Chains A and B, each alone.
Chain A
Amino acid sequence: MNDTSDFDRLARAWLAEGPRELSDRVLAEALDEAYFRGRQRRLGVRTAGGQPGLSVRARFGALPLSVGAFLIVAIVAAIATAAILGDRFASPGGLPGQAATAAPSDDAVDPTGWIEFRSDRYGFSLSHPRSWTLTLASRDWVWREDRLDWMSNAAERFAASTADVSFAAFSLAADAAARPNSLSDAYYPQDGCTRDLVGLVTIDGHAGEIYRVCGAFQAVVDAGARSYSFALWRTAPNEAMPPELRGAGPPHRDFLSMLEAVLATVDVHDPVPLPAIDTTAWLPYRSDRYGFSVSIPAGWTVTPAERDWSLDPDRRDWLTPAAEHFASPAAEALRASAWVVELGSGESFSDWINDFHTLPCPGGRIEGAIVDGRVGNILFHCTYHGVAVVGNRVFVLAIWTPTGEEGRPPVGATAGDERVLPMLRALLSTVDLDEP
């Protein structure tokens, strides 16, 4: 061992042993952490989470309950202090576009380079990190069925491409949501969840609140005629349960920083009606049996009803021969059926619809609809139904994607795909109902 070349050779051979490949998991964690936090402000005070030497895994681990409780207490104390001092946090008259919480984070996230997204459906725009992917809402958010569904397809949803962060936003007409407080009161009311006021916020100049709900951070704000919800939480793989119900600890403070950063980019505006489908070239179909006419797109096929519709057995049979059936070409894969039923003596529409909606599917009212000049509704029960009442007769037009068994709607689905609702609106706009 006196020979230098021997030592060098030995050292090189020893150093040659060992791992040479960085795992995808480690790389993904690092990139997610980097993009999630954004580029930090140079002069900011770093929190413990940003101290050198603390691993990404450690920082994303569950925050000790005592620390979480301390944070909440500190934040609430800050709110009180802000209110007493009359500073900017509690002021509803903040600058448009400025987000200010009672406990501004030291780890402010820099939105430079983010991508702008505009939701015409819900009337807002915001910017989000480039690593987030967007899934557009395929229908309007409905109180009864969506408030328990974290992954509802009625919200504009974003997910970080490399990790487990989800963000969802939607708005409701204020009369549907009542006040923002009630929106948060009733949102995610699952047993076992906690709800705490984290701070006050101004979103595009409108006063709102940030809550910690079920382990997520949710901002709610009333702006003009609409109430808005913006929620951020940590997602478990293939798991829609909210964090607290999964046994996860309090959300990491970084999530609050990220929500603040997104909220600072929000602009609210009036929703823009989605472009209507052009029905001018559609072909009329007349149902003498039921006394209505409807236009359908060229290329659709019609299967006329063979008998009158009755609650039993037809409410359980999507393909019943008692309905007028319409089907798009196979490649487009939409089906619709329509029928008219007379209410029984003393039977109200509500009675009938309750009897009709007995299948084990989510249900609720989607929106109002005008059917041949009459006020009707679009309801959801396994799929979308347009309904209107003329005298003692109920007109029903159902539409679905035939992806379930034997061309039925998918069992247990909360909605069809995003083509279904616009097509139903378009079909309803062409309906003529005979006078009783």
Chain B
Amino acid sequence: MDEALVERARAGDEEAFSGLARSVGDRLLAIAFRITRDLGLAEDAVQQTLIGAWNDLPDLRDARAFDAWMYRLLVHACYRELRRNRRWNASVRVVPLDGRIEVDGAVSVIARDQLERGFRRLPPEQRAVFVFHHYLGLSLPEVADALGVPLGTVKSRMHYAVSALRASLEADLRSPIESTSERPA
């Protein structure tokens, strides 16, 4: 991240902030989508993040922490979007097929759907930890640092998330997919 650009944006330079937004926008959307599993919610979360970042940027003390700071704003925006939409976010695409999970090569249609269903049952906080670790490739201490939560909390969330997803995969392997009436996220 260009620290000079951050400093200029912090001082009120809209052009500099636009440059920053363009440079992080794709990454923010990718993360937001993987947490929310909904493009509309992800876009709204990114917009809220950018608006909040412009507003609060004067409070950022260390320009080098810009990326981590943006991640944290984004995660909280995702939490808000997910909780705001929890009542009507229950539908999950059902693929009426039976078969094995193919762990070699690309993710099978069945596995993708099972993971999708399992992930949508996770609380937002567990989703964020899972995405930061498995998508961004951060170690658990790095996830703790990025999200601003204790390492023990991160480990706990990761444990529950992985357990729930593995259970979802294994349960779905044992019984055919029947309905979409699972508890909303």
Contacts and interface: CB of A to CB of B under 8 A. Distances in A.
Interface stretch (A32-40, A71-79, A138-146): A32-40
Interface stretch (A11-19, A248-256, A293-301, A395-403): A11-19
B138 interface: no
Nearest to B81: A53
Chain B interface residue number, banded: 35 or more
B115 interface: yes
Interface string A153-170: 000000000000000000
Interface residues of A, number: 40
A35 B25 contact: no
B50 to A, nearest CB: 4
B98 interface: no
Given A9-B103, A27-B21, A52-B80, A22 B26 contact: yes
Contact of A39 (B58, B80, B101): B58
Contacts of A39: 12, 54-55, 58
Contacts of B17: 31, 34
Interface string A40-77: 10000000000011011100000000000000000000
B56 to A, nearest CB: 9
Contacts of B34: 15, 18
A1 B101 CA distance: 8
Contacts of B13: 113, 130
A40 B39 contact: no
A26 interface: yes
Q: Is the interface of A mostly helix, strand, loop or mixed?
A: helix
B130 to A, nearest CB: 8
Nearest to B59: A42
Nearest to B77: A52
Nearest to B15: A130
Nearest to B80: A53
Scoring B30, B58, B131 by chain A CB atoms within 10 A of each residue's CB, the highest score goes to B30
A7 interface: yes
B21 A31 contact: yes
B165 interface: yes
Contacts of B15: 130
Given A1-B173, A14-B115, A39-B55, A52 B48 contact: yes
A12 B135 contact: yes
B115 A34 contact: no
B145 interface: no
Scoring A9, A22, A37, A52 by chain B CB atoms within 10 A of each residue's CB, the highest score goes to A22
A1 B165 CA distance: 11
Contacts, number: 120
A12 B103 CA distance: 11
Nearest to B48: A52
Given A12-B135, A39-B12, A18 B166 contact: no
Contacts of B103: 1, 6, 9-10
A20 B162 contact: no
B37 to A, nearest CB: 8
A20 B26 contact: yes
Nearest to A7: B166
Contact of B47 (A7, A13, A56): A56
B7 interface: no
A26 to B, nearest CB: 5
Contacts of A35: 14, 54
A26 B106 contact: no
Interface in B34-61: 34, 39, 42-44, 46-48, 50-51, 54-55, 58
A133 B90 CA distance: 45
B129 interface: no
B47 A11 contact: no
B147 to A, nearest CB: 17
Closest A-B pairs by Cβ, 10 of them: A113-B12, A22-B25, A34-B54, A30-B47, A30-B50, A22-B29, A55-B44, A15-B135, A53-B80, A53-B84
Given A8-B134, A113-B12, 13 more contacts: A1-B103, A7-B165, A10-B101, A11-B115, A12-B135, A15-B134, A19-B33, A19-B39, A22-B25, A22-B26, A27-B21, A27-B22, A31-B50
27 contacts: A1-B103, A6-B103, A7-B162, A9-B103, A10-B115, A11-B115, A13-B106, A19-B33, A19-B39, A21-B26, A22-B25, A22-B26, A22-B29, A26-B47, A27-B22, A30-B50, A31-B54, A33-B47, A34-B17, A34-B51, A34-B55, A35-B14, A37-B51, A39-B58, A52-B77, A113-B12, A130-B13
